[in-house]
Chain A
Amino acid sequence: MIGAEILKLRRQRWLFFCGFLLVPLFMTLIAFMLGGMLKPPPGAAVNEIRLFRSLFRTFSVGGNPIAQLFFAIGAAGIFAVEYRYSGWRHLVPRAARERLMIAKFAAFALFAALSLALAGTGDLIVTLILPFVQGLKPLIADAPSSAAVILILAFFVSLAELLALGGLVALVAVATRSGMAAILLPFLLSLGAAAAGAYLGESVHRIPWPGFAADALRQWLSGAGPAPLLPALTLLGWIALPFAGAVALFRRQDLVSE
């Protein structure tokens, strides 16, 4: 089933590009351009590179509202495609509805993970090759002993944030049967949350919103944040509840015309 979803998304080339390739490509390009233009921090050697910090920053892309807009486009390409092209009439008679939705969610999770991995790879390449381009011998200046673990956790925090977005897109797509609504509503919520974050400052972390929970977890990974249990549960809840709502709604939904 997941293979079918992957094939459908790959053939929607524009949605696939916008949803899962544009963000990592753009981030890599920006990293390359900024890396070439910016000077090293005061006191740092000219050939020092901060690989850990750079990757950690890249893996926080899941919380960026603009990046979320593009990931929502990719998610809508998966969850709303059957409503747009009347696909349910071919799929529902021969497969359990919940399995169809789970296959879509798994496909989204896979593409989101690949997209994050691509962003990380792009950042890694740019960070490592830029000194060579500038004629320097690179020196990795920040490599804490637990760097790999922290980066893996940062990757999964970002992925969890995207999965929460995917669940929300799934719910809106099923409820409205519209790909456009499935993109815009989560994006507007994400934008609103970002505005609230800017306005409320640190106290915003008390609001159980996936972006704030992910930020709290990232702070904890940096050694500065609160205990991770509550934000982790918040994030997991935001993955589980909207998606469970989408499945429950879809199970009862009459597909008179998709």
Chain B
Amino acid sequence: MSAIELAGISKRFATGSGAVQALDTLTLSVPKGGVFGLLGPNGAGKSTLLRVITGLVHADQGSVRLLGEAAGPASRRRLGALIDAPLFYPFLSAREVLTVLARTSQVTPDLPPLLQLVGLADAADRPVSGFSLGMKQRLGIAAALLASPEIVILDEPTNGLDPEGMREMRTLVRHLADDRGVTVLLSSHLLDEVERICDRVAILHHGRLVAEGAVSDLLQGERLWIDAAPVERVLARLGQHGSPHGEGVVAHVTREEAPALIAALVADGVAIHEARWLRPDLESVFLAETA
């Protein structure tokens, strides 16, 4: 069973010439457990999708299922979410914010451990109006975890955090998935962050799903980069398996084929200055899919 199943979701804002197709027949399945990353350039539809899942925005078409149930107030009680910027009532303290949200959700959480978990125990009784963006972000995480949800949706959770805070957030997200069995769906524009903490990713572009899979699968396909002279002779040897790349040439060969290729190039009189394996990163995959 999937944690989140989206089938044919479409959402259009406004009408006429100013209309924007935010989501276009998007179908996506987020498996239960693990951390699922949502990537996409600005305007790709990530935030709209998260708002559709959380019921803030109504889809024009399509269906949302959460843990096997049609999305609705009852099934959404099993998810916690931090959507968009972490804005809170500035006239309340952090503890009061969580109290208000708990009362509205009709749950009675143990607040001290939760505040401890997000590092706000010492600031629990201070007004939120004096909080830094990072502290508000932590409060947002606490709000998302308030009712011990089975699914947690985090929209840009490391926004506003310093490097130490980002590291702590990554640790927290992995802890939720690995130790508590929570399914985490997060959107981020920090590709290396997604690469580090996500098990699977989906890439959106113009409201459509353009790539989806395990991070390890998307990053498959090593290539051998060779800095050699003359380049033309290398390209001639490689044929369709080679292409210019910066100062050198990229060869699409396996690790088993590499020694024979190097030997052949040397035999051809090519001077090889450097050769190393290039591992594709999420950024290159992302740019290729959204180009």
Given contacts A95-B104, A95-B105, contact A255 B51 (CB under 8 A): yes
Whether B103 contacts A96 by the Cβ 8 Å rule is: no
Asked if B277 is at the interface (CB within 8 A of a chain A CB), the reply is no
**Interface set, chain A 94-110, CB cutoff 8 A to B:** 94-97, 99-100, 103
B residues sitting closer than 8 Å to A (CB atoms) are 13, 48, 51, 54-58, 73, 76-77, 79-81, 83-85, 87-92, 96, 99-101, 103-106, 143, 147
CA distance A228 to B49 in the complex (A): 53
Given contacts A4-B100, A254-B56, contact A96 B73 (CB under 8 A): yes
A12, A85, A89, A254 — which one has the most chain B CB atoms within 10 A of its CB? A89
Whether B84 contacts A11 by the Cβ 8 Å rule is: no
For the side of the interface on A, what is the size category? 20 to 34
Asked if A252 is at the interface (CB within 8 A of a chain B CB), the reply is yes
A103 CB contacts on chain B under 8 angstroms: 104
Given contacts A8-B89, A11-B96, contact A92 B54 (CB under 8 A): yes
Whether B13 contacts A4 by the Cβ 8 Å rule is: no
CA distance A13 to B55 in the complex (A): 31
B79, B85, B89 — which one has the most chain A CB atoms within 10 A of its CB? B89
CA distance A159 to B147 in the complex (A): 37
Given contacts A7-B99, A85-B87, A256-B57, contact A91 B104 (CB under 8 A): yes
A255 CB contacts on chain B under 8 angstroms: 51, 56-57
A227-258: CB near B (< 8 Å → 1, else 0) gives 00000000000000000000000001011110
A68-87: CB near B (< 8 Å → 1, else 0) gives 00000000000001000111
Given contacts A85-B90, A86-B85, contact A93 B55 (CB under 8 A): yes
17 residue pairs of the A-B complex, CB under 8 angstroms, read A1-B104, A4-B101, A4-B103, A7-B100, A8-B89, A8-B92, A13-B91, A85-B89, A86-B85, A89-B83, A90-B88, A90-B104, A93-B83, A94-B105, A94-B147, A95-B104, A255-B56
Main secondary structure of the interface of A (DSSP, over half): helix
Closest Cβ–Cβ distance, residue A179 to chain B (whole Å): 13
A residues sitting closer than 8 Å to B (CB atoms) are 1, 3-4, 7-8, 11-13, 81, 85-97, 99-100, 103, 252, 254-257
Whether A92 contacts B55 by the Cβ 8 Å rule is: yes
Whether A254 contacts B57 by the Cβ 8 Å rule is: yes
Picked from B51, B87, B104, B147, the residue with its CB within 8 Å of the CB of A4 is: B104
Q: How many A-B pairs fall under 8 Å by CB?
A: 88
Whether B103 contacts A3 by the Cβ 8 Å rule is: yes
Given contacts A8-B100, A89-B83, A90-B101, contact A1 B106 (CB under 8 A): yes
B76 CB contacts on chain A under 8 angstroms: 93-94
CA distance A93 to B90 in the complex (A): 21
Write the chain A residue with the least CB distance to B56: A255
A85 CB contacts on chain B under 8 angstroms: 87-90
A94 CB contacts on chain B under 8 angstroms: 73, 76-77, 79-80, 104-105, 147
CA distance A103 to B87 in the complex (A): 22
Picked from B58, B79, B89, B104, the residue with its CB within 8 Å of the CB of A254 is: B58
Whether B87 contacts A86 by the Cβ 8 Å rule is: yes
A91 CB contacts on chain B under 8 angstroms: 101, 104
B103 CB contacts on chain A under 8 angstroms: 1, 3-4, 7
CA distance A95 to B55 in the complex (A): 10
7 nearest A-B pairs in the assembled complex, by CB-CB distance = A4-B103, A86-B87, A96-B73, A93-B54, A255-B56, A94-B105, A4-B100
